[in-house]
Amino acid sequence: MEDTEGFDDSNDQQNSVVESTPRRGRRSRVSKRGSRLTGGDTSRSNPEFQFITLTGHPGAASANPDSRRLIRAQARRATGQQHEDLAESNSLALRPKPGGNDQGAKAFTSRFRLVDPSSTKSISKSKARKNRAVVEVSVRAVPSEELEEVEEVVRYPEERLQYWIPSMPAFNGLPIPLLPSTHAILDYYHNDLRVNSFALNPEGNVWNVARLHPAVLYSFIATIGTLRVYSLGLEIDDPDILYHRMKAERLINEHFDQPGAFPTDDICNAVGVLVNREATDGSYESATVHMTGLARLIELRGGLQTLEHLPVVQRVISWADFCYAATWNRPLFFPLLESFAWPIEIYDRFITRNITESTDYGPSDLTFNRLDVLEALEQLYTLTIKIREYVPGYGNKFPIANGIYFLEHKLSSINNTGNIIRVESFDSAFDISELLALAAQLFLHLAIRETPRDAKRHRNLFDRLRVSMPPLADFSTISAPRLLVTLLMWICYVGAADTRDPSAKDFFLLSLRQLCFALNITSWEDFTDCLRETMHSELFCSIHSVEMWNAIAPSAT
């Protein structure tokens, strides 16, 4: 029977032998304590495992108390040796190196003692705890050039063992790299932007379509960034927005540089989004190039109806057409899509009342001669009611979205100077039809679509509204049916939303004061009730009405 090293051989009585053997396949070359190792093994940061072999019949070791005692003793010695070696290796790794990093191979050479676990006394728990407490481990990640490194320090009760754990960078699942301001732009889109809530995104998939193609995503982020700038009053010439716009243009040009390139859905979508951005920013030259190019691309495809499989792209391109036409007083490029025809039953709010009051009143300073404009007002009033009644999560957005599209197309056609029809009147009454058409389109943009008031795209409509006002010195003495006077007051109310021309704003505020006097409006309640007789949007009017009343209240009372 083989004798065991360091163990009593009294286990012969149970036909059981305990062996301490090194790992199979490797020679053990442990020298006496204090001696130096020779040969190729110059370091031993990880001690070899010690194996205990039991021979004999099954259950002999568990039945023999001496065998169990020897096994526990060997396990304690092996565990104590591992803790001691770990503490020693950590202390050596964290010890400062004198002389800097240019010490050659000597700076990276060290000597340490290897001890045979079988001949080493068990290390005390207090000593092991002390060795672990004095160790300080610093784990740091290399900071990224584009993301800020945020460090979180985890302190143990000893206050001497510290880990520095840098936060992991956010995973980017988009096909483009993210700039520092891109996160703020996307956060604004997902949490604060309301421009496309009804008009552009009734399907709820505009983001899913935009994020799949780099050119669309670049132009999309540039457009949202521009809306954010005008909404929050930030710096207009944002370099990050310009970067995204230029990248979108480069990808579009690279697509058409390829032989046999076809205007794909994504490329048409990207160009349409760029036109929206340039109209918002008032970039006429760029918008003209892109809008004419977009019209050519759609013509090559066979018309806007070829995109019926992607209604969201149809809406984006149509909205680009509306923006370009309204911003620079140009005719529309695309005809009305039958799939987006007016789907809502129209309320009779103005037509019958206008006929009745005009007949009963007699001669008047104001008149209303265009039936198509009056129909557009009825449609606008119907939209305000439907939006007010809409319940998020339960209502149907598609009738509202199609109604906005239909009305925008109609007002863009009416307000184009080449299509304006001026009906001659045989009396001195002033026709407010053109004023109402301009104010209705401004209200559609500001209150229904909720585009920023500071955007340059509204400049043409505001200027035309100002110069089209009736040449009366004082509206406080106006003589006309109440419906026409309240409609004129609503026109001035919309015109006073101009934030870029102080003189025009003052003119409309003065007109509001005079009309309040003519209608005997002396309180805030009377003012809001008069506005509700025409068109009223809760979000827009709740803010804008307070601003207007604070400006005109001293004269109104």
Q: Domain check: are 311 and 401 in the same one?
A: no
Report how far residue 448's alpha carbon sits from residue 404's, in angstroms, rounded to the nearest whole number: 8
Question: How many helices, marked H, and strands, marked E, lie in the chain?
Answer: 19, 6
Q: pLDDT 10s per residue in the chain (557 long)?
A: 444 444 344 444 444 444 444 444 444 443 444 444 344 444 444 545 555 565 655 566 566 777 777 777 777 777 766 666 666 665 555 555 555 455 555 555 556 555 555 544 444 544 544 444 444 434 444 454 443 443 443 343 444 444 444 555 566 778 888 777 888 888 888 888 877 578 888 888 888 888 889 999 999 999 999 999 998 888 777 888 999 999 999 999 999 999 988 999 999 999 999 999 999 998 999 999 999 999 999 999 999 999 999 999 999 999 999 999 999 999 999 999 988 888 788 888 898 888 888 888 888 889 888 889 999 999 999 999 999 888 887 888 899 999 999 999 999 999 987 555 555 544 578 899 999 999 999 999 999 988 888 899 999 999 999 999 887 668 888 999 999 999 999 999 999 999 888 999 999 999 999 999 999 998 888 999 999 889 888 878 888 888 888 888 854 44
Q: Give the C-alpha separation, 456 to 283, whole Å.
A: 9
pTM strictly above 0.85: no
Do 486 and 552 share a structural domain? yes
3-state DSSP call for residue 366?
Answer: strand
Is residue 147 in some structural domain? no
Q: Are the beta carbons of 267 and 315 closer than 8 angstroms?
A: no
Q: Give the span between the Cα atoms of 211 and 162, in whole angstroms.
A: 41
Give the range of the structural domain holding residue 82, as residue numbers without chain letter: 10-95+110-129
Judged by phi (left if over 0) then psi (alpha if -120 to 50, else beta), residue 393 lies in: left
Q: Is residue 149 part of a domain?
A: no
Q: How far apart are CA 416 and CA 326, in angstroms?
A: 8
Tell whether 367 and 312 lie within a shared domain: no
Residues 254 and 275 in one domain: yes
312 assigned to some structural domain: yes
DSSP for 223-281 reads HHHHHHHHHHT--SS-HHHHHHHHHHHHHHHHHHHSTT----HHHHHHHHHHHHHHHHH
- The rounded distance, in Å, linking the Cα atoms of 381 and 532 is 10
Same-domain check for residues 404 and 489: yes
Is residue 64 located within the same domain as residue 193? no
Domain presence at residue 157? no
| 168 within a domain of the structure (yes/no) | no
DSSP-assigned letter for residue 446: I
Contact (CB, 8 A) for 30 and 114: yes
Determine the pLDDT at residue 12: 43
User: Would 161 be classed as within a structural domain?
Assistant: no
> Within a domain: residue 361?
yes
Same-domain check for residues 368 and 413: yes
Question: From residue 185, how far is each of 178, 180, 214 by CA, in Å?
Answer: 11, 10, 16
- Same domain as 315, residue 207: yes
Q: Are residues 25 and 69 in the same domain?
A: yes
Q: Which of 340, 366, 400 is the last residue of a domain?
A: 340
pLDDT at 108: 52
Domain boundary among 305, 340, 375: 340
Kindly state whether residues 310 and 368 are assigned to the same domain.
Answer: no
Per DSSP bridges, beta strands 162-166 and 151-155 are: antiparallel
Last residue of a domain, which of 294, 320, 340? 340
Residue 284 sits in the same domain as residue 390: no
Dihedral-angle region of residue 346 (phi above 0 means left; psi in -120 to 50 means alpha; beta otherwise): beta
Distance CA(352)–CA(340), nearest Å, equals 27
| 461-487 b/e (C-beta count within 10 Å ≥ 16 → b) | bbbbbbebbeeeeebeebebbebbbbb
Q: What is the pLDDT of residue 45?
A: 46
**pLDDT given for residue 28 in this prediction:** 42
Domains contained in the chain, number = 3
444 and 531 together in one domain? yes
Residue 504 lies in a domain: yes
H helices of 390-453, in order, are: 398-415, 433-443
Distance in angstroms (rounded) separating the CA atoms of residues 360 and 353: 11
